[in-house]
Structure 1
């Protein structure tokens, strides 16, 4: 796995988690043909949780912060990958001048570094995934009571996931009021990359 692949994979995951951002909504709206809706059904409300997160200030902050952390990880791994690549190239140019035993010893040591790097890259990928999950879970936790508040304010008798519907009358959609409430409650919170090695060592000392 290369650092470029790692960064691309994580960026795709982050984009998927926040797929219904404001920009995505605008593109979809521009591409979708005009639809005439029937009368709104009294008491029935629809809402998109993903859309609310993606359109909210805190959701956009989380996406930006995740991208920053992924870039930091990429830089860390790229530096080590470059050093290993340089050493491998140097060793190859010295193959004919080194004795067989010396060459095999250095090649074995290099393989140890490669294996260690691959384990680190895999761990960083897991850490990025856990970081993303926890950050989005925090947003969901902040949003949960707001969903109930908006539900009651709009006098809903039923709340349906908009993402599971093909079409719905926009008058029944309470996503934007939820975004407004979420923006008033929280716009950002501090978080950094999860460190799985520290968690593992902490568990072993208990």
Structure 2
């Protein structure tokens, strides 16, 4: 769960960093280098309608998982507090049984949480793969239309002439080809 929240925060910061970098671009970006093009996949994922649909749905699924796990955490905390405060008045054999039961419930809750995190990770990867599959022919077409001889990852380029960037057109075409994605949490297939 924490990993998913961190990933969402990182994606948001990537987009804001890209916006700041665009604002700080030089007044004269230099010449367009024939045959050299760039593409920024993180921006496509953040700004395309399908990418935004994935982000929104993943947040909803994460909240559902949190709602599913919360009762376990509450029950475990309640039992731990009861054992801690009433430990002296509970017979030793009952105390041991309750501690063992509590430990087993805590392990089951951790396993469930790990399973749900893996499901969310798998679901996100599957949806991003669908976007990648949809944008791949778009990028191939743009590469040919623009006469690119080299397509660079925008994340590897510090500054460039914006006329060499294919990302905006790729987003527009992806929005037309794949306006949204609808999905539910997916179980991780057995491997």
Is the TM value for this pair above 0.5?
A: yes
Task: State the Cα distance separating 1:17 from its structure 2 match.
Answer: 4.9
Highest RCO, 1 vs 2 (Cα 8 Å, sep ≥ 6): 2
Q: What is the Cα deviation at residue 20 of structure 1?
A: 4.3
Q: Per the alignment, do residues 194 and 19 of structure 1 end up closer, same or farther by CA in structure 2, a change over 3 Å counting? A: farther
1:195, 1:98 → 2: CA distance? 42
- How many residues are treated as equivalent by the alignment? 191
Using the TM superposition, give the Cα deviation of residue 121 of structure 1 relative to its aligned residue in structure 2, in angstroms.
Answer: 1.4
3-state DSSP class of the match of 2:102? Answer: helix
> Which aligned pairs between 1:80-99 and structure 2 lie closer than 5 A?
80-99=72-91
- Structure 1 segments (4+ residues) deviating >6 Å: none
Residue in structure 2 matching 1:127, options 103, 107, 119: 119
1:61 to 53, 63, 85: 53
Cα distance in 1 for residues equivalent to 2:123 and 2:69: 18
Matches within 5 A, 1:164-183: 164-183=156-175
The residue aligned with 2:18 is 25
Deviates more, 1:62-71 or 1:41-50: 41-50
Does the residue aligned with 1:45 lie in a helix, a strand or coil? strand
Partner of 1:191: 183
The TM-score normalised by the length of structure 2 is 0.89
> How many Å apart are 1:18 and its aligned residue?
6.3
1:123-153 C-alpha deviation (Å, 9 max, x unpaired): 2222221111111111101111111112222
Q: CA deviation at 1:24?
A: 4.8
TM-score (norm. length: structure 1): 0.83
Give structure 1 stretches of 5+ with no counterpart: 1-5
Secondary structure of 1:179's match? helix
The 1:19–1:130 alpha-carbon spacing in structure 2 relative to 1, beyond 3 Å, is: farther
Gaps of 5+ in 2: none
